[in-house]
Amino acid sequence: MGNVKDGSEYPSLARIPAHVGMIMDGNGRWARQRNLPRLAGHRAGMEALRIILRAAAEFGIPIVTLYAFSTENWKRPQHEVQGLMQLLGESLDKEVAKLHENGAQIRCIGDLSPLPDELQRKIHDAEELTRNNSGLLVNLALNYGGRQEIVKAVREIVALGVPPEEITADLISRHLYTSDLPDPDLIIRTSGEFRTSNFLLWQSAYAEFYISPVYWPDFGKKELYQALVEFGRRERRYGGLTDSTE
Ligand code: IPE
Ligand code: IPE
Ligand code: MG
């Protein structure tokens, strides 16, 4: 691969996933390693996100869904939760204009209603500003939980009075936040943890998982490229058979 610094050449990839989910984990441990407060890790994580979004667009990934705050993350100390909300708002202030300029579309999934009003407003403005853009779709999962999402879908379907025989997997998919998106082909989790932590439970049925040992703030273009190379080697069978297994 030669020079791996940003801006250098990366050999073209066999397959590009249509949709990549990222569980951005390890900010706290990254900070602890450096004797910094956890929020410094989250701040570094936002910087990593900026770099990853640029790299994703360069590699030609059409859709990324980023796990930024789970329905369980409210259990953390108030100070950390508040700091995270503040940081999200600051990042939107700093990055939205640039993302818009680059043609990115910003969307959020999750129950945004408990978020601070100001943050909700910023999210709404970013979504409105970028809604007609056709570049990278940046889907931010905020106060998102896969179980909460499925409960929401079931409630909507029941409220519509749908008869049991008309309830299908496709109908449930259409009531998820991701109703108009393809399922993720690849889910990347950083920091070496092997679990979903309630991320895209329904949609990840046939996603390929890639676990990187690197903490999220250190996950850069080179690491994303490695994940995409590995994805290109995976044999996806969807329960069927392929030539090499026949
Ligand atoms: C991921 O990093 C960011 C959020 C969950 C908001 P963590 O804060 O979970 O970092 P670790 O797992 O404690 O290292
Ligand atoms: C998952 O990470 C949530 C996000 C990255 C936003 P956590 O750090 O919250 O997950 P657990 O607690 O280790 O499972
Ligand atoms: Mg974590």
CATH code for the domain in which residue 109 is found: 3.40.1180.10
Ligand 1 centre to CA of 158 (Å) is 35
What percent of the chain lies above the pLDDT cut of 70?
96
pTM, two decimal places: 0.95
The bound ligand whose nearest atom lies closest to the alpha carbon of 41 is 1
Crossing angle, helix 38-59 and helix 78-101, to 10 degrees?
30
Instruction: Give the tens place of pLDDT for each residue, 10-44.
Output: 999 989 999 999 999 999 999 999 999 999 999 99
- Cβ–ligand 1 contact at 83 (below 6 Å): no
Angle between the 78-101 and 117-130 helix axes, to the nearest 10 degrees? 20
Q: Ligand 1 within 6 A of 148 CB?
A: no
pLDDT (0 to 100) of residue 5:
53
Q: Residue with structure tokens 């943890």?
A: 193
Written as one letter, the residue type at 93 is: D
Q: Is residue 121 part of a domain?
A: yes
Q: From the CB of 73, is ligand 1 less than 6 Å away?
A: yes
pLDDT at 161 over 60: yes
Structural domain that includes position 133? 15-231
**Could you tell me if residue 3 is inside a domain?**
no
Which region holds residue 2: left if phi is over 0, alpha if psi is between -120 and 50, else beta? left
Whether residue 189 lies inside any domain: the answer is yes
Examine residue 136 and state whether it is found in any structural domain, yes or no.
yes
Residue nearest to atom 13 of ligand 1 (CA): 28
Cα–Cα distance, 166 to 178 (Å, whole number): 20
Over the range 122-157, which residues count as b (16 or more CB within 10 Å of their CB) and which as e? bbeebeeebeebeebbbbbbbbbbbebbeeebeeeb
Domains in the chain, number: 1
Residue numbers annotated as active site = 25, 73
pLDDT at 193: 98
- CA pair distance 229, 8, nearest whole angstrom: 16
